[in-house]
Amino acid sequence: MKIKTASVTAIAAAFFGQFVLAGQSPAVPGKYGKWLNEEVVYIIAPGEREAFGGLTSDRDRDLFVEEFWRQRDPTPGTPANEFRTEHYRRIDFVNKRFDAAGAVRGWTTDRGRTLIILGRPLSVQRFASADTAPIEIWYYLTDVRWDLPTYFRLLFFQEYGADEFTLYEPAKDGPKRLVPFPDRWRPGKNIVPGEGAFAKSNPPASWTADDHRAYQVLATYVTSEAAEASISCFPGFSEPGDAVRSSELIGGVRALPAKRVDEGYANRWLEGPAQAAVSYSVHPVECRSGLTALADGSGGFRVDYVLGPRVVAFDRFGDRNFAGLRTTIRAADAGGKTAFEDVRFTPVELSGSELEAVSESSPEIHGSFALGPGSYTVDILFENTVSKEFASIAKEMTIPPDQEAAKTAAGEGAAAGKPARGIWIINQ
Half-sphere exposure of 1 (CA within 13 A, CB side): 24
Rounded-to-integer distance, Cα 323 and Cα 300, Å = 34
Q: So where are the chain's domains?
A: 2-86+260-278, 98-254, 282-427
Q: What is the pTM of this model?
A: 0.64
Convert the pLDDT of each residue in 128-174 to its tens digit.
888 889 999 999 998 777 788 999 999 999 987 677 899 999 999 99
pLDDT of residue 102: 64
Task: Name the helix (H) or strand (E) containing 344.
Answer: strand 338-351
- Cβ density class 216-235: b for 16+ within 10 Å, e for less: bbbbbbbeeebbbbbbbbbe
Q: What is the per-residue DSSP string for 147-208?
A: SS-SEEEEEEE--TT-SS-EE--HHHH-GGGGSS-GGG--TTTSPPTTHHHHS-SS--TT--
Does the pLDDT of residue 241 top 60, yes or no?
A: yes
Return the closest-CA partner of residue 323 out of 302, 350, 294: 350
Helix and strand numbers (H, E) in the chain are 15, 15
CATH of domain 282-427: 2.60.40.150
Phi, then psi, of 366 in degrees rounded to 5: -110, 140
Collapse the DSSP code of 401 into the 3-class scheme (helix H, G, I; strand E, B; otherwise coil) and give the result.
Answer: coil
Rounded-to-integer distance, Cα 384 and Cα 184, Å = 69
pLDDT of residue 162: 76
pLDDT of residue 185: 59
